[in-house]
A and B are shown apart, each in its own frame.
Chain A
Amino acid sequence: MAIQIGYFPGCSLHSSAKEYNDSIKASFGDLGIELKEIPDWNCCGATAAHSLNEALALALPARNLAMAEQEGLSLFAPCSACYHRFLLTNRKLCASEELLLEVNELIAPLDYKGSTEVKNILDILVEDVGVKKIKESVKRPLKGLRLVSYYGCLLTRVPHGQASDDQENPVYMDMVVEALGAEPVPWPSKMDCCGASLNITEEAIVCRLSSHILDNAQAVTAGAVVTSCTLCQMNLDLMQSGTKPEYNHPANLPVFYISELLALALGHDFPQGHWKKHFVDPRGVLEKLGLT
């Protein structure tokens, strides 16, 4: 029987990270996951809300958590930044009845009770589906593809508590990569920060941070980078785009979403135009390995 999961795409999966949304929708059904979109979901508030207004930073995720609860669903946020906001909000609200009461006043008439489970994409793939089932479902093993798994900051760095995966040396993405038939390559930058939303306000910082990550991917002769975060994907891809004089990193490494590789390995082909959403077009690498 299919596992029903509440789906929170978030703003970026409907615009700059459409390819993440498309590939999740293409592949999850094959693994027995039924995604039910949280009705009328709103933006989690992101960095802006927690930087300027804590009440908003709690209330905006809480509205979605409450709506998921009403439907009896968990909440799956593919974007690591959204996921982190939901996880932190949920833990804070579950730890303090007083705070829960205050936040419920902000989102009234909704009334959150604290029962929604928050999940990221690797929680689902490794814990709910399991690598064994993924391996069995693979129709087109990604043989010969040397991948560095780029986890970024927000998937596992949970203050005052445990994340599902290790906080300093996570392995879930590598496990999935291996199950898909590709080769997970050890490297030192799996948890390094790309600079995230500073790419709009402090370009030079993001260039320094993201370029260092690409340097390290090159140093281990990776064939491509795989990630599960929309900001990580954007920054690493953008640094190689040549759209500005500063964005000229020579690595020429495609930056995949984990769900894109999952869909490919499960035998799906993407419609024309899908790969054009990447600055570094991955088709060269895929064709060379006979994967398209």
Chain B
Amino acid sequence: MKPSERIQVSDGSVIDPGFTQKVIQLTGEEVMTCFQCLKCTNGCPLAPEMDVPPNKAIRYVQLGMRDAALAADSIWICATCYTCSVRCPNDIDIAHVMDTLRRLAYQSQGDDTPKAHIVHFHELFLDSLKQYGRVNETKLLARYELKEGRFLKDAKLGMKMFFMGKMSIFPEKVQNKEQIKKIFDRASKRKG
């Protein structure tokens, strides 16, 4: 069997050995050394909310189960707290693997996930960064709340923070905005 050959198994899911190789190549992590000790998932603060906990995500990668790995809500819920990474007895930076799955999912399906609102938040964040070189929290939050149709829900909190002096209305900008724009242009050509 060639490593790139895709196999359809009895439940209809596809096994793609090329996916395993791709994740290994992108992360530089030795994912094949995982022996399912579950230290990652036992320590994961987000595991109760995850459909695919970290140990299972690694297993999907080992087995080449691309679709199952990239469709998981968990890759968006992962808070990148690195508990799994520092506890892995085989020194796999699992948070980096989750991060990489997120980026692969974003490249192939954009915001087509039940966790689309998290994708939107990241997109708006980078939008603000690209425009000013720094992130204006007030504008970012307002844009996000508008996009997700929850503006009134958080209005009280927003006003309170404004009067506490924790929100700046006028965005801070870097002087060399051209350079920031260039970094974004060059990085987008690199496809993540």
**Chain A residues with a Cβ under 8 A of chain B:** 11-12, 14-18, 40-43, 45-56, 59-60, 63, 84, 105-107, 110, 153-154, 157-160, 167-168, 191-193, 195-198, 200-202, 205, 208-209, 241, 243-244, 247, 273, 276-277, 279
Task: Tell me the B87-138 residues at the A interface (CB within 8 Å).
Answer: 91, 93, 95-96, 99-100, 102-103, 106, 117-119, 121-123, 125-126, 129, 133-138
A41 vs B174: C-alpha distance when bound (angstroms):
7
- Could you tell me if B45 and A43 are in contact, using CB atoms closer than 8 angstroms? no
**B152: A residues at CB distance < 8 A:** none
- Could you tell me if A201 and B129 are in contact, using CB atoms closer than 8 angstroms? no
A-B contact count (CB 8 A): 169
- Could you tell me if A53 and B188 are in contact, using CB atoms closer than 8 angstroms? yes
Across the interface, A43 reaches (CB within 8 A) one of B85, B86, B91, B129, namely B129
A17 vs B137: C-alpha distance when bound (angstroms):
11
Q: In the complex, how many residues of chain B place their beta carbon closer than 8 angstroms to a beta carbon of chain A?
A: 62
Secondary structure at the B interface, as helix, strand, loop or mixed, is helix
Across the interface, A193 reaches (CB within 8 A) one of B81, B85, B118, namely B81
A202 vs B118: C-alpha distance when bound (angstroms):
8
Closest to B138 in A: A15
- Could you tell me if B80 and A18 are in contact, using CB atoms closer than 8 angstroms? no
The reply to whether the CB of B55 lies closer than 8 angstroms to some CB of chain A is no
The reply to whether the CB of B156 lies closer than 8 angstroms to some CB of chain A is yes
- Could you tell me if B86 and A63 are in contact, using CB atoms closer than 8 angstroms? no
The reply to whether the CB of B52 lies closer than 8 angstroms to some CB of chain A is no
A276 vs B133: C-alpha distance when bound (angstroms):
29
**A244: B residues at CB distance < 8 A:** 154, 156-157
Across the interface, B166 reaches (CB within 8 A) one of A106, A205, A209, A277, namely A277
A3 vs B46: C-alpha distance when bound (angstroms):
41
Identify the stretch in B3-11, B17-25, B61-69, B178-186 within 8 Å (CB) of chain A at 4 or more residues.
B178-186
**B125: A residues at CB distance < 8 A:** 46-48
Contacts known (A11-B134, A11-B135, A202-B77); A51 close to B167, Cβ less than 8 A:
no
B41–chain A nearest beta-carbon distance, Å: 14
Across the interface, A159 reaches (CB within 8 A) one of B48, B85, B164, B167, namely B85
The reply to whether the CB of B51 lies closer than 8 angstroms to some CB of chain A is no
**B79: A residues at CB distance < 8 A:** 153, 193, 195-198
A53 vs B117: C-alpha distance when bound (angstroms):
17
Closest to B121 in A: A201
- Could you tell me if A157 and B174 are in contact, using CB atoms closer than 8 angstroms? no
A45 vs B99: C-alpha distance when bound (angstroms):
14
Contacts known (A42-B133, A42-B180); A157 close to B187, Cβ less than 8 A:
no
A-B contact pairs, 21 of them (CB 8 A): A11-B135, A14-B134, A15-B167, A15-B168, A42-B133, A48-B121, A49-B129, A54-B100, A106-B186, A106-B187, A110-B179, A168-B86, A192-B45, A196-B80, A200-B141, A201-B118, A205-B46, A243-B157, A276-B164, A277-B165, A277-B166
A286 vs B127: C-alpha distance when bound (angstroms):
41
Across the interface, A196 reaches (CB within 8 A) one of B81, B85, B118, B167, namely B81
**A11: B residues at CB distance < 8 A:** 134-137, 172
- Could you tell me if B176 and A40 are in contact, using CB atoms closer than 8 angstroms? yes
Closest to B163 in A: A276
- Could you tell me if A277 and B164 are in contact, using CB atoms closer than 8 angstroms? yes
Across the interface, B86 reaches (CB within 8 A) one of A167, A200, A208, A279, namely A167
Task: Tell me the B37-88 residues at the A interface (CB within 8 Å).
Answer: 45-46, 48-49, 77, 79-83, 85-86
**B149: A residues at CB distance < 8 A:** none
- Could you tell me if A107 and B183 are in contact, using CB atoms closer than 8 angstroms? yes
A248–chain B nearest beta-carbon distance, Å: 13
A63 vs B91: C-alpha distance when bound (angstroms):
29
A157 vs B40: C-alpha distance when bound (angstroms):
14
B138–chain A nearest beta-carbon distance, Å: 7
- Could you tell me if B168 and A40 are in contact, using CB atoms closer than 8 angstroms? no
**B174: A residues at CB distance < 8 A:** 40-42
Across the interface, A50 reaches (CB within 8 A) one of B81, B99, B157, namely B99
**A198: B residues at CB distance < 8 A:** 77, 79
A52 vs B138: C-alpha distance when bound (angstroms):
22
- Could you tell me if A243 and B166 are in contact, using CB atoms closer than 8 angstroms? no
